Amino acid sequence: MTTEVTARPDDHVLTTDSARRTTQHLLERVEHHLRDFLTAENDLWTAVDSRATVPVAAVADLIDSGGKRLRPAFCVMGYLAAGGEADAPGVVPAAAALEMLHACALIHDDVMDASGQRRGAPTVHVKHSAKHRDKAWQGEERRFGESVAILAGDLALVYSDQLMAEAPSAVVPVWSELRAELIIGQYMDVAAAAEFAVDPELSRWIALAKSGRYTIHRPLVVGATLAGSTALGTAFEEYGATVGEAFQLRDDLLGAFGNSAETGKPAGLDFTQHKMTLLLGWAMQRDERVHDLVTTPGHDPGEVRDLLLGTGVPDDVERHIAGLVERGRAALDDAPMDQVWRDELGAMALRVAYRKA
């Protein structure tokens, strides 16, 4: 049944405080669900062989390391904004599945980017390459570490499906679309880095597919679907597309100019990996020296940053982010939801677009 009215099922007036308490309560349940699920998996495989828990531990370590939990948050908020009941069972495992899928993407992304650090700790492939070296095992340490990471990421993908299977089946179409979109977006990112040709529109599409949609738009739709509503689809699509692009552009700026102590990732990695971000694409349109410098082996990331600043593109990106946030918030103006959720999602747009890490 489609729900078109988003009022609360009781007679109490919805306030900002009560909305935030309900959201926080559900997100705490998501954390418990993830922890209990991974503990059960660890116990299951410990009974087989202690070594069988290695990929499980790799996933659990990443989940336990924190993160922004944006995908569960947008799922929960989409669910509540669409009139979902806080004590209904489906939204918690669905939100947990989104975070587990994110763990899969991060572990694999770190291999593809040859990144040595994630959230201030060694990445999975780096950690297990070092273990192979320390143990003086047979074979190639790099191949071993990357193999462990690939398998751990695959396991997180399997786990995400197991968790989503606990939610009502109505969510299957959007869940399938979300996962396929993420993987195709990741491939296009790899291909664009290899070609390293200026194509701002492709860069924008990649950012939307591999980040914006799966971070914001699709989780909102997952939540609304679980609440039985289709009324917010158009608003969530526009909000998710614009705020999602702003999210990725902030990520690009942090990758270029952020403090690695705050971001938990190596600074300048996008330059080293030739990531064709919109930031770089715009800069290369203005100054061909950007392309030449980034593709020079052993280039100095500081020199690239100085050249980018000289093009004026970072300031233009900041203005573009501001415009995207304004459009995203405006998309909610006429959406059939309580004003409290309009305000909360508006605040989330600012949070993701202007974050420091």
Strand runs (DSSP E) across the chain, as ranges? 117-118, 121-122
- Reported residue count of the chain is 357
Report the predicted TM-score, pTM, of the whole model to 2 decimal places.
0.92
Closest CA to 23 of 355, 347, 352: 347
pLDDT of residue 12: 57
* Helix/strand/coil for 207: helix
What phi and psi, each to the nearest 5 degrees, are found at residue 118?
A: -145, 125
Beta-bridged to residue 39, according to DSSP, are none
Sign (positive or negative) of CA dihedral 252, 253, 254, 256? positive
Transcribe 129-175 into DSSP letters.
HHHHHHHT-SS-HHHHHHHHHHHHHHHHHHHHHHHHTTS-GGGHHHH
How many helices and strands, by DSSP H and E, does the chain display? 17, 2
List C-alpha distances in Å: 259 to 48, 208, 253, 265, 280: 43, 24, 11, 9, 19
Q: Is 303 left (phi over 0), alpha (psi -120 to 50) or beta?
A: alpha
Q: Which residues have CB under 8 Å from 147's CB, separation 6+?
A: none
Closest CA to 244 of 202, 208, 200, 206: 208
What phi and psi, each to the nearest 5 degrees, are found at residue 121?
A: -130, 160
Question: How many C-beta atoms surround the C-beta of residue 186 within 10 A?
Answer: 18
* Helix/strand/coil for 222: helix
Could you report the average pLDDT of every consecutive run of 10 residues in the chain (357 residues)? 41 84 97 98 97 98 95 98 94 98 97 92 97 97 98 98 97 96 92 88 85 91 96 95 92 86 76 85 90 86 89 93 97 96 97 92
CB 134 within 8 A of CB 142: no
